[in-house]
């Protein structure tokens, strides 16, 4: 059992659905064997009375979404949580609330992806153009599509990236199909990627990549095909079997992202946001073989990652040990480099090198990693300076 200078208490602030999905009771027992007490935080009660806490893991995205929609109870609960954390700055927080807020808005996520890809200078990534729609006026939509060089087919997603409805999407093939758009939403040129999606799951020191089904290829340009409505979560389930995910006979199986590229992505996002628990969806353009980052998710479900418990516990222990050595949190690193390994339990999935991160505090969106990631293949030191945001509503394609 881990020996601590002082008993450790970790609070989990999750919805009932998330706790059940993660099997939190089993994880709590695993933590107990390592000298860590797990407490399920109830936001309807005094948090002070439930503490003290050395570390808190949370996913308040649904509450935060409802709070932005003027739900009074959600606003009060989010404020209570934020007030408590601000009153106890020594608590390690997974993850920062500003980062969670940013990722709850797809348009802001796409800006972040564009900033990350700008550091790449066109070597590995392509950047399909996108735009934010705040109007249902078809003439205005067409004008924006032409101005920003979007091409059919278009994929339409809700701007809000949280909640069950955020998985409801549409594939639009022609101008008439734009009548199916319900703003606010985000439109993006669809990239043919041979029906394969790579999901990168980051857990502190480790990351895992799993291959999933995705939308099949479609002819580029306008066609007479009617709009296809689909649920991205259902389409990309490991066991998904749908006509929408069928690959053509000549469609080759794309090579997945290399360790070096995954390190670049993970380090960049952690530098920009200070996150420890997040997922990234990546596809490979079947024409250029460049990668496109199409979504970032805070604290995803980690479906198909059998090492989730051990990876999360190892990360928590590393943070708690660092806090014992440095009680004031100066120089606290959430993720230290370590060795990667293959996930034999997952078909065509792997767990390569870890990355550096700082996950303490509510703000700190401009944190810069102090060490280059290491692992099976050493990556170049990708220091990320302060990003400059592109003009709202515009993202030029680099997929040509």
Looking up tokens 């407490």, which residue turns up? 39
Between residues 341 and 232, the one the model is more confident about: 232
CB 54 within 8 A of CB 9: yes
Between residues 62 and 357, the one the model is more confident about: 62
Query: Could you tell me the CA-to-CA distances from 7 to 10, 53, 249, 315, 324 in Å, in that order?
Result: 10, 10, 59, 17, 11
Instruction: Name the β-bridge partners of 201.
Output: 208, 279
**What percent of the chain lies above the pLDDT cut of 70?**
82
Give mean pLDDT, residues 263-287: 91
Taking all residues of the chain, what is their mean pLDDT, rounded to a whole number?
81
Question: How many helices (H) and strands (E) in the chain?
Answer: 11, 15
Please give the Cα distance from 247 to 36 (Å, whole number).
47
Tally of CB atoms within 10 A around 182: 12
Q: How many residues does the chain have?
A: 400
Residue 87 has pLDDT above 60, yes or no: yes
Instruction: Name the β-bridge partners of 283.
Output: 292
pLDDT tens sequence across 106-135: 989 999 988 888 888 778 888 789 999 999
Residue 341 has pLDDT above 80, yes or no: no
Give mean pLDDT, residues 2-27: 89
Tally the C-alpha atoms within 13 A of residue 354's C-alpha that lie toward its C-beta: 21
pTM of the model: 0.81
Delineate the domains of the chain, giving CATH numbers in brackets.
8-88 (3.40.50.11370), 103-150+186-215+251-351 (3.30.470.20)
- Split at pLDDT 50, 70, 90, the class of 394 is very low
Judged by average pLDDT, the poorest of 28-32, 198-202, 366-370 is 366-370
CB 214 within 8 A of CB 191: no
Give mean pLDDT, residues 144-152: 95
Give mean pLDDT, residues 96-114: 90
| DSSP-derived pairing of the beta strands 341-342 and 228-231 | unpaired
By the 10 Å C-beta count (0-12 exposed, 13-18 middle, 19+ buried), 3 is classed as: exposed
pLDDT tens sequence across 202-217: 998 789 999 999 999 9
Residue 374 has pLDDT above 50, yes or no: no
Per-residue pLDDT at 158: 93
Give mean pLDDT, residues 6-26: 92
Per-residue pLDDT at 126: 82
Per-residue pLDDT at 366: 28
Token pair for 86? 């601000």
**What single string gives the DSSP state of each residue in 239-298?**
T---GGGPPPTTPPPPPPPPHHHHHHHHHHHHHHH--SEEEEEEEE-TTT--EEEEEEEE
Per-residue pLDDT at 283: 95
């Amino acid at each position: 059992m881990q020996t601590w200078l002082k008993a450790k208490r970790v609070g989990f602030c999750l919805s009932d659905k998330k706790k059940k999905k993660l099997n939190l009771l089993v994880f709590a027992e695993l933590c107990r064997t390592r000298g860590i007490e797990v407490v399920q935080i109830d936001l309807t009660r005094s948090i002070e009375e439930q503490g003290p806490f050395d570390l808190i893991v949370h996913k308040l995205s649904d509450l935060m979404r409802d709070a932005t929609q003027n739900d009074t109870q959600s606003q009060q609960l989010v404020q209570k949580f934020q007030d408590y954390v601000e009153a106890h700055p020594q608590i390690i927080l997974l993850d920062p609330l500003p980062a969670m807020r940013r990722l709850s808005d797809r348009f802001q996520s796409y800006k972040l992806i564009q900033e990350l890809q700008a550091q790449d200078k066109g070597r590995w990534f392509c950047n399909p153009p996108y735009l934010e729609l705040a109007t249902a006026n078809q003439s205005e939509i067409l004008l924006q599509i032409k101005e920003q060089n979007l091409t059919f087919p278009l994929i339409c997603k809700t701007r809000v990236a949280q909640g069950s409805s955020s998985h409801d999407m549409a594939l639009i093939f022609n101008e008439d199909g734009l009548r199916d758009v319900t703003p606010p939403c985000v439109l993006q040129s669809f990239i043919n990627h041979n029906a394969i999606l790579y999901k990168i799951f980051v857990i502190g020191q480790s990351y895992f990549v799993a291959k999933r089904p995705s939308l099949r290829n479609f002819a580029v340009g306008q066609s007479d095909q009617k709009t296809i409505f689909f649920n991205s979560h259902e389409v990309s389930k490991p066991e998904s079997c749908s006509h929408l995910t069928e690959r053509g006979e000549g469609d080759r199986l794309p090579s997945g992202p290399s360790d070096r590229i995954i390190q670049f992505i993970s380090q960049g996002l952690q530098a920009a946001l200070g996150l420890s628990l997040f997922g990234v969806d990546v596809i490979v353009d079947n024409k250029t073989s460049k990668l496109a980052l199409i979504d970032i998710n805070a604290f995803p479900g980690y479906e198909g990652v059998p090492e989730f418990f051990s990876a999360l516990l190892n990360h928590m222990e590393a943070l708690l040990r660092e806090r014992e050595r440095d009680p004031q949190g100066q120089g606290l690193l959430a993720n230290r480099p370590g060795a990667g390994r293959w996930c034999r339990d997952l078909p065509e999935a792997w767990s390569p090198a870890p990355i550096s991160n700082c996950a303490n505090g509510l703000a700190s969106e401009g944190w810069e990693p102090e060490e280059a990631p290491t692992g099976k293949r050493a990556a170049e030191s990708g220091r990320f300076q302060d990003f400059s945001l592109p003009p709202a509503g515009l993202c030029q394609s680099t997929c040509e």
